[in-house]
């Protein structure tokens, strides 16, 4: 959760004064993770402002990642953000545990499909070839962090055919995963994706796409992840190439 040393001051616009007030309540523990925030009406009455000003303050709190919204239920205080190192090819659940965050993984779908034009191009396979599609939800304290859908070329991962759709692979594919091309972008969460994450449709989320390759550089898996933006911060390392 972002640290703030800012103090409420009359020089700030009214909505920012409300934001700083709520931020201080979150930072000093008066509002705990998943606590409900006041409604627009209650906030307007408490601070003597219009509902438009109260709404602007709540939207700003959510935009800063301090709160999340659930359709027809209101806004709630966000839990501590998880740091995700996009350079890491290790197990995500183990990485989270090192941050004292317990993550549970739920396999919600596993099936064989045929590769469309884009997947065939990404995995350098023939269009219409059989691939495995697996979708998993990642939870922390019954709170969904993100979901991912993997499209896997089974010829490079033959063991996956032996696992039933109800069996969860918590580890990625042995030593096959070696490098990945990664794209991260922000965007609106579509209704079908929002239902999986239990959030309001069209709010801002984070989409990550990975093309996972083996040691020979052959792509064998395409991964699409949709994250709740208030629950994660991404990190990476830059390496200077002195060989030029």
Structure tokens at 151: 């499209």
Residues near 105 by beta carbon (within 8 Å), at least 6 away in sequence:
93, 136, 137, 138, 139, 168, 170
Structure tokens at 80: 């501590």
Rounded Cα–Cα distance for residues 126 and 116 (Å):
9
Q: Select the more confidently predicted residue: 91 or 194.
A: 194
pLDDT tens digit string along 24-74?
999 899 999 889 999 999 999 999 999 999 999 999 998 888 988 887 788
Q: What percent of the chain has a predicted confidence (pLDDT) above 70?
A: 82
Q: Are 214 and 117 in contact (CB under 8 A)?
A: no
Is the dihedral angle over the CA atoms 197, 140, 25, 23 positive or is it negative? Answer: negative
CATH superfamily entry for domain 82-235: Chorismate lyase-like (3.40.1410.10)
Domain ranges for the chain: 14-77, 82-235
With residue 15 as reference, give the H or E element that holds it: helix 14-27
DSSP state of 42: H
Mean pLDDT in residue range 193-209 = 90
Q: How many CB atoms lie within 10 A of CB 212?
A: 22
pTM to 2 decimal places: 0.75
Nearest of 147, 232, 133, 140 to residue 190 by alpha carbon: 147
**pLDDT score of 114 more than 60:** yes
Band of the pLDDT at 214, cuts 50, 70, 90? confident
Level-2 CATH architecture, domain 14-77: Orthogonal Bundle (1.10)
Nearest of 183, 184, 162, 173 to residue 215 by alpha carbon: 173
> What mean pLDDT value characterizes the chain?
83
Structure tokens at 202: 């069209």
Separation of CA 166 from chain center: 23
């Amino acid at each position: 959760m972002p640290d703030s040393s800012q103090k409420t001051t009359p020089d700030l616009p009214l909505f920012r004064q409300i934001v700083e007030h709520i931020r201080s309540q979150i930072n000093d523990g008066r509002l705990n993770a998943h606590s409900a925030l006041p409604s627009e009406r209650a906030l307007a009455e408490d601070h003597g402002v219009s509902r438009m000003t109260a709404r602007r303050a709540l939207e700003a709190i959510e935009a800063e990642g301090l709160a999340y919204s659930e359709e027809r239920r209101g806004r709630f205080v966000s839990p501590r953000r998880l740091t995700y190192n996009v350079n890491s090819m290790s197990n995500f659940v183990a990485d989270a545990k090192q941050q004292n965050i317990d993550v549970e993984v739920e396999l919600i779908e596993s099936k064989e499909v045929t590769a469309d034009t884009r997947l065939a191009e990404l995995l350098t396979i023939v269009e219409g070839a059989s691939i495995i599609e697996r979708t998993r939800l990642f939870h922390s304290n019954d709170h969904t962090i993100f979901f991912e859908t993997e499209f896997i070329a089974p010829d490079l991962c033959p063991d996956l055919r032996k696992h039933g759709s109800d069996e969860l692979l918590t580890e990625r594919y042995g030593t096959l995963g070696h490098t990945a091309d990664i794209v991260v972008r922000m965007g609106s969460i579509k209704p079908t994706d929002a239902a999986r994450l239990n959030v309001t449709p069209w709010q801002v989320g984070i989409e990550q796409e990975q093309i996972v390759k083996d040691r020979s550089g052959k792509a064998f898996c395409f991964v699409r992840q949709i994250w709740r933006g208030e629950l994660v911060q991404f990190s990476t390392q830059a390496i200077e190439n002195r060989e030029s």
